[in-house]
Structure 1
């Protein structure tokens, strides 16, 4: 009787231990399988873009100098062809260089450009022993969101967001980057005013590829000065901010087209009567 009672007392322990081990095996296996499946899916998505991807690449910590346009075309067998609007030591803007890439598992799928490619690694190389970060660009990126027409990644070291937009039609890199250079040239004023619904809000300073603004915020009886640095990339028609910016919770802005007659970047987002204008 004592032996039977002893066995009955031990039965729940053995059952619990068995369940824990079974669940551990199941979840370990399923996690590994999920990552492997995602890696396969992401590689296929990259390679499925026949015309490649347009990249908004942001170097520097806190994207403090703004972003640059790049293009990438991936193959299923692990090769990528890159171009950039930035001239490097050996290549002009729009030149293409092919190298290898990988999708590796590092607590989740990671896109790594671990084979040297001067187009990309121009942003990641140190500038000597006194400046080991260089332009502080990433070459390894964590997948954040993957869709057939848009992929969002995050730099593994510096955390800057990398947005890749699928190109629906063939694009000549040199012609595209020339249109970017033309846009940058025609809008190269030092100071702008920020206008919202026709009212002048504050002055904006154009520094590198950022618009630096400061404005008053009144809460209760206290007035403080809020400073913002709006990083952006140039597009052939204007600029696109690093991320949407909401002014005082009232209006959100991200995309702007250049109006040459008004010398202004005019917001094209819905319900956003906003522009950055010289006058």
Structure 2
């Protein structure tokens, strides 16, 4: 006996069951428009974020640069005012080097008007000119020393001779003939230039006085000159030395030292290669 048949299943002959293929993203394999649109949206968002981030960084950098520039300008203005116009860096101390007490007082007087002025605005050239005009000063240099000082370095003139003047007094002069001071009595420690009035002759006589070696200068009681090439020395023993010009003083002094043992009354070393003596 046959078992009862189950429900009948209809199967279509010649057709396969329908199946929809999908891509990895879950969209149908035949459509690519969906993922492309999403990718473009993501890329657009990323680009926007990058632009916004870069723009913000640039603005921050610009703000920082502006603030730094303002601060720097303010510092420069404040610094310029402090250095050039305030009393913070004003001149308070004057240091003088190479000067005697008398010259030092004169130098300080020449700088006195600058004390209290901002150091940057002190006219060192003008101060140097005022100091150089002091009779005892041969040269002077003036330099700033921060924060509040100037240093004055002085080379003083050296007295080498005393010159009689028309009033009966005496002028103490240096090697260039500049008068350092006047006096009513003749200093005994300086060579005496006597009876010389013509300027060129006087300059030659003073130049000779400045170059005589100490041992010879100690024997000279007076120097005279009728011209720049005719300077004469009067020695303590009464002899006369015809010195000539102020040129070649070392050679003339050496030649004269060799001739003095002759005890002559006149020595002529004006041409030291051909010296002569007479008398004695």
* Structures share fold, TM-score greater than 0.5: no
Query: Could you state the TM-score of these two structures normalised by the residue count of structure 2?
Result: 0.29
Which of the pair has the greater relative contact order for Cα pairs under 8 Å at 6+ separation?
A: 1
User: More strand per residue: 1 or 2?
Assistant: 1
Which structure would you say has the larger Rg?
2
User: More helix per residue: 1 or 2?
Assistant: 2
